[in-house]
Amino acid sequence: MECKEALPLIHEYLDGGLRGAEALSLKEHLLTCPTCRERLTQLEKVEAMIQAWPKQQVSPGLTERVMQSLPPVRSSSPWWRWVRTHPAASVAAVFVLVMMGSFMSLWNEDSELLVKGTDLQSVVIQGDTVLVPVGKTVAGNLMVENGKLQVDGDITGNIVVIDGSVNLASTAHISGQVTQIDEAFGWLWFKMNDWAAKISEIK
C-alpha cells in the first residue's frame, strides 16, 4: 500500500468506520511507514484537542435570530419543476404552441379571396362573391376562402367554404358534401387533412 492510499483509510479509522481487510492493510502499512505513523499521531492529537474543547453555551433565541436573518428560500413553481423533469414533453408542448400561434396568425392575416377547384371555367367571380350560374356545371370539388359562394347551377363534387358563406339556390344540384369552416380550429384541422392528402399523393 502507498501513502496516498493510506491517507483516506487513516481518516476512516479515526471516524471509527474502518473494518476488515482494509484495517489490516492499514495496520501493516503503519508498521513499515514512519511518515504515516507520524501523520496518524498528529491527527489523533488534533481530535483529542477538539474533544477536550469546552462546549460553548448558545444564548437563548440565537438559532431563531440566525434563521430569521437568512434570505427566504425561493420556491420554484410546479410548472418549472415539471419542465425540468420532463424536457422532451416540454419541447413538444412548446413546438405545438408555436405551430398553433403561426396557424392563428395565418388565419387572422389571410383575408384575400381564394378559389380552388379542378374546373373553374364555369365560375364567375364578382368582388368577394363566387357565382356558379344557372345552367353551368362545375366538374369536381370547389373551395372558396374568405368569400361568398352563390350556387345556382350544378357542382359534381364537394364544396368547402372557409371563413365565408354559401347560398344554394333552388336550382342548384350538389352531388358531394357542403362543408363550412368558420372557426380557426376547424380551419387548422382542414389544413392538416389537406397537407396529409398532398403528402400521400406524393408518395
Structural contact between residues 150 and 135, judged by C-beta atoms closer than 8 angstroms: no
Rounded-to-integer distance, Cα 159 and Cα 176, Å: 7
Closest CA to 1 of 20, 27, 34, 19: 27
**Residue of higher predicted confidence among 107 and 171:** 171
Rounded-to-integer distance, Cα 139 and Cα 167, Å: 19
Structural contact between residues 177 and 192, judged by C-beta atoms closer than 8 angstroms: no
pTM over 0.85: no
pLDDT in tens, 40-85: 888 888 888 877 776 666 667 777 777 777 777 666 567 666 666 7
Rounded-to-integer distance, Cα 80 and Cα 127, Å: 52
Structural contact between residues 133 and 115, judged by C-beta atoms closer than 8 angstroms: no
DSSP state of 61: T
Percent of the chain beyond pLDDT 70? 73
Rounded-to-integer distance, Cα 53 and Cα 198, Å: 84
Confidence at residue 66, expressed as pLDDT on a 0 to 100 scale: 77
Q: Where residue 23 falls among pLDDT bands split at 50, 70, 90? A: confident
